């Protein structure tokens, strides 16, 4: 299957700082990328959908000014958690899909801990 990478794999930061997470499709062009968040023992929750070159579509309850998403190229999307707080600590996972396929390929996830 297609390969999707995320960087960093884990990050610890102080409350109030901003953290950027990168999601890259390594061997295909991702016209659509999805960002999910997963709290312990809970399901993956879709945060937003981003299409290359256009603004992201956020799910209900997700603050677009707090979770900034940029999908400037067909192989890279970034999620920036601005002014992170301890309640933002979670496992953030991206997935990517090309314009032909129905399957989403998931990145390995980024574990964020905000102190």
Partner 1 sequence: RKEVEQDPGPFNVPEGATVAFNCTYSNSASQSFFWYRQDCRKEPKLLMSVYSSGNEDGRFTAQLNRASQYISLLIRDSKLSDSATYLCVVIPAGGYNKLIFGAGTRLAVHP
Binding of partner 1 by 43 (CB under 8 A): yes
Under rule CB under 8 A, residue 60 binds partner 1? no
Write the DSSP symbol of residue 59. Answer: P
Q: What angle do CA 97, 107, 105 make, to 5 degrees?
A: 30
Candidates 12-20, 39-47, 64-72, 82-90: pick the segment binding partner 1 (CB under 8 A).
39-47
Query: How many angstroms separate the CA atoms of 50 and 56, rounded?
Result: 4
Least distance to partner 1 from the beta carbon of 40, Å? Answer: 10
Residue 107 contacts partner 1 per CB under 8 A: yes
Under rule CB under 8 A, residue 32 binds partner 1: yes
Q: Identify which of residues 66 and 91 has a Cβ nearer to partner 1 in the complex.
A: 91
Does 2 contact partner 1 by CB under 8 A?
no
CB 24 within 8 A of CB 72: no
Phi/psi class of residue 72: alpha, beta or left (left: φ > 0; alpha: ψ in -120 to 50)?
Answer: alpha
Residue 108 sits at φ, ψ, to 5 deg, of -75, -5
Which residue in the set 14, 41, 60, 100 belongs to the binding site for partner 1 (CB under 8 A)?
41
């Amino acid at each position: 299957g297609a390969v999707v990478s995320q960087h960093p794999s884990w990050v610890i930061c102080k409350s109030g700082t901003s953290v950027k997470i990168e999601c890259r499709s390594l061997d295909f062009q991702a016209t659509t990328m999805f960002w999910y968040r997963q709290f312990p023992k809970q399901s993956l929750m879709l945060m937003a959908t981003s299409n290359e070159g256009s603004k992201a579509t956020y799910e209900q309850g997700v603050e677009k000014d707090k979770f900034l998403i940029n999908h400037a190229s067909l192989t890279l999307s970034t999620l920036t958690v601005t002014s992170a707080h301890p309640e933002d600590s979670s496992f953030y996972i991206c997935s990517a899909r090309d314009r032909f396929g129905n399957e989403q390929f998931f990145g390995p996830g980024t574990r964020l801990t905000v102190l």
